[in-house]
Amino acid sequence: MAGRYEEEFIDPERPGGRNPLRPALARLAKEGLRSVADLGCGTGALLPFLAEHFREVYAVDFAEGMLTRARASCQGQRNIRFVQSAMRDVASRVEAVEVAVAVNSLIMADLDDLEASLSAIHDLLRPGGIFLGVVPAMDSVHYHTMLLLDRARQTGMPQSPARKNAALHAEHELFEFAFSEFRYRNLVQHFWQPFEVPYRLRRAGFKRTRVRKVLLSWDQVSRGNDLADYPPLWDWFFQAEKSEAATDR
């Protein structure tokens, strides 16, 4: 996906949206936290910001093509180390850090892999360390569907064709709703329910999870302009902590 990344993914950083991630990272840096790992860094969109705010930055991805693009976009930034690693192995590949961040990269459809990755992130953090992330929201697709359905009904369309119309524009053929999966090309990605975020983070050992919406700009969405009077779609942002009492590795 590295070569056509921008065409394929909705960007939570796009102007017109609202993303609590960078303000939260800036606050942590201001409080004196010095080291950060960007897990699933992709083409490196967040890396220049991290390099500016933190002394030590690790850019981790399992895809060499992504790391090549990330390296190219960060030339001249001397405090970034690039590491090719699967997230589940990260604790043995990267020095312990005070902050870990994962933006739309906790999308493993294999739940063993997802849980192993969350545990590895917990292990990677120093005691008292902070984990921030953004995950794609399953409930946002249901909300989009509701708006599309009502938009069609308001034009006088009967419910059955209005449902077909909503399913088309919300791309239902790409989703497996019961188990929260998005299937596109050869990739299967896990989408998250809001109740799942604190649940899975707690199972991995994190505490004090807070969840907030990342608001996505309507101009990235099919029929978005028609719906722009309504509150926008979202991803889920979270911030969680590793206990101070947890043992260092």
Ligand X SMILES: C[S@@+](CC[C@H](N)C(=O)[O-])C[C@H]1O[C@@H](n2cnc3c(N)ncnc32)[C@H](O)[C@@H]1O
At residue 60, the 3 state secondary structure works out as strand
What does DSSP assign to residue 189? E
Q: Which is nearer to ligand X, 133 or 232 (CB)?
A: 133
Task: Name which of 73 and 79 has its Cβ closer to ligand X.
Answer: 73
Q: Which is nearer to ligand X, 161 or 179 (CB)?
A: 179
Question: What's the min distance (Å) between Cβ of 69 and ligand X?
Answer: 9
β-sheet with 80-84: strand ranges across? 80-84, 56-61, 35-39, 97-103, 125-136, 234-241, 207-215
The contact set with ligand X (CB under 6 A) reads 9, 40-42, 45, 61-63, 66, 86-87, 103-105, 108, 117
Min dist. Cβ of residue 104 to ligand X (A): 4
The whole-angstrom separation of Cα 117 and Cα 170 is 30
Contact 40, 25 (CB under 8 A): no
Distance of closest approach, residue 65 Cβ to ligand X, in angstroms: 8
Q: Which one, of 158, 28, 42, lies nearest residue 107 by Cα?
A: 42
Decide if 106 contacts 190 (C-beta within 8 A): yes
Q: Which is nearer to ligand X, 108 or 125 (CB)?
A: 108
Nearest distance from C-beta of residue 88 to ligand X, angstroms: 6
Nearer to ligand X, 117 or 165 (CB): 117
At its nearest, how many Å lie between ligand X and the CB of residue 155?
35
Using only C-alpha atoms, what is the Rg of the chain?
Answer: 19
Residue nearest to ligand X (CB): 42
In whole angstroms, give the CA distance from residue 14 to residue 10: 8
